[in-house]
Amino acid sequence: MLESSLEETVRLSELIGDLLFLARAESPLTELHRENVNIGELLATVRDYYEASATDAGISLVVNDGAEPLIAELDRSLMLRAVSNLVSNAIAHTPPGGIVTLAAMNEVAAIRIEVSDTGVGIPAEALSRVFDRFFRVDPSRSKTSGGTGLGLAIVQSILALHGGSAEIASQLGRGTRVTLRMSALATR
């Protein structure tokens, strides 16, 4: 009984933290702590953090960050949170033997970060709602996966704070790709 209560308390604490983050992100007084960040190093940090979880799940976690360093002026801790949310989702929804790939590319005056997986995918009718707060593709999985339906809403809020965007593409049985785009403003 105590173990169950503790688990529920932790889950509620995380939910409250996520809701407070979203409320702060919408405030016009919110300030980013921008710094020049090497995107390849950021992706490697996320990979290193999730590598053990991916290995335990039988999933390969790969970073493709290109040959040339990509530098963007952004809030490092917020962008780590956004990419971490995506990788956590990808690992949770990719079966053993699958691959989760983190990639960074330079576009004209923009940086693109992609997190893709070879997982179960998302039904086409759900794609338009995945960034909505509390939306879960399969609500019955909420207790087993621990998800609150706020992860992608948080990702979208973080990108909006950076003047960027988050997009998703998915096919059932083939996987999902989330693309983050933001300005490449940086001083070297």
pLDDT at position 11 is 72
pLDDT at position 77 is 87
pLDDT at position 142 is 47
Q: What is the pLDDT along the chain (188 residues), one digit of tens a residue?
A: 888 888 778 777 776 777 777 767 776 657 788 899 999 999 999 999 999 999 999 999 999 977 678 888 998 988 999 999 999 999 999 999 999 999 999 888 889 999 999 999 999 998 988 888 877 776 544 444 556 778 898 899 889 888 899 999 999 999 999 999 988 765 54
pLDDT at position 80 is 92
pLDDT at position 143 is 46
Tell whether pTM > 0.85.
no
Output the DSSP codes for the chain.
Answer: -HHHHHHHHHHHHHHHHHHHHHHHHHSTT----EEEEEHHHHHHHHHHHHHHHHHHTT-EEEEE--SS--EEEEEHHHHHHHHHHHHHHHHHTS-TT-EEEEEEEEETTEEEEEEEE-S----GGGGGGTTSTT--SSGGGHHHH---S-HHHHHHHHHHHTT-EEEEEEETTTEEEEEEEEE-----
- d(Cα 52, Cα 131) in Å, to the nearest integer? 27
Tell me the angle at which helices 2-26 and 151-161 cross, rounded to the nearest 10 degrees. Answer: 30
Residue 80 CA neighbour count, 13 Å, CB half: 16
Residue with tokens 């691959």: 99
Domain boundaries, the chain: 35-183
The gap between the terminal CA atoms of the chain, to the nearest Å, is 55
Fold of 35-183: Heat Shock Protein 90 (3.30.565)
pLDDT at position 146 is 55
